């Protein structure tokens, strides 16, 4: 056993558009999504652009993003690997994530 819990992930089709928009509407959450657009990161690497973020706050941000179907957060050995569910989101809400990531 790894000691790292598997977390639940909704199917994007089961997530309301408003939940996705809400998850993206916070600057700290949006910053993490931007970081993940370049590729998966370990939980420890997420939020490097926001180093003063308390660990408990970061855990909560990641939970909101996961529950909105925006990120996948999976055990990877002793670490957690976080990835953007871009293809899945694109299938349900075409163009949404691209337009958000393209904006400054």
How many chain residues are in contact with a second copy, going by CB under 8 A?
Answer: 22
Letter string b/e over residues 71-96, b meaning 16 or more CB atoms within 10 A of that residue's CB: bbbeeeeeebbbebbbebbeebbeee
Closer CB to a second copy, 42 or 57, in the complex: 57
Q: In a 10 Å sphere around its CB, with 0-12 CB exposed, 13-18 middle and 19+ buried, how is residue 32 labelled?
A: buried
Residue 102 as a binder of a second copy (CB under 8 A): the answer is: yes
Closer CB to a second copy, 20 or 82, in the complex: 20
Residue 17 as a binder of a second copy (CB under 8 A): the answer is: yes
Residue 1 as a binder of a second copy (CB under 8 A): the answer is: no
Residue with tokens 């855990």: 59
Of 76-95, binders to a second copy (CB under 8 A) are 92-95
Pick the binder of a second copy from 2, 10, 11, 25 (CB under 8 A): 25
Provide the binding-site residues for a second copy, judged by CB under 8 A: 16-19, 21-22, 24-27, 30, 92-96, 98-100, 102-104
């Amino acid at each position: 056993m790894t000691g790292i819990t598997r977390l639940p992930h909704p199917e994007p089709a089961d997530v309301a558009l408003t939940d996705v928009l809400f998850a993206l509407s916070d600057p700290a959450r949006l910053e993490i999504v931007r970081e993940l657009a370049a590729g998966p990161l370990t939980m420890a690497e997420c939020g490097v652009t926001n180093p003063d973020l308390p660990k408990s706050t970061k855990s909560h941000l990641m939970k909101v993003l996961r529950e909105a179907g925006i990120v996948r957060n999976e055990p990877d050995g002793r670490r957690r690997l976080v990835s953007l569910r871009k293809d899945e989101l694109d299938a349900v809400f075409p163009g949404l994530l691209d337009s958000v990531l393209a904006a400054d």
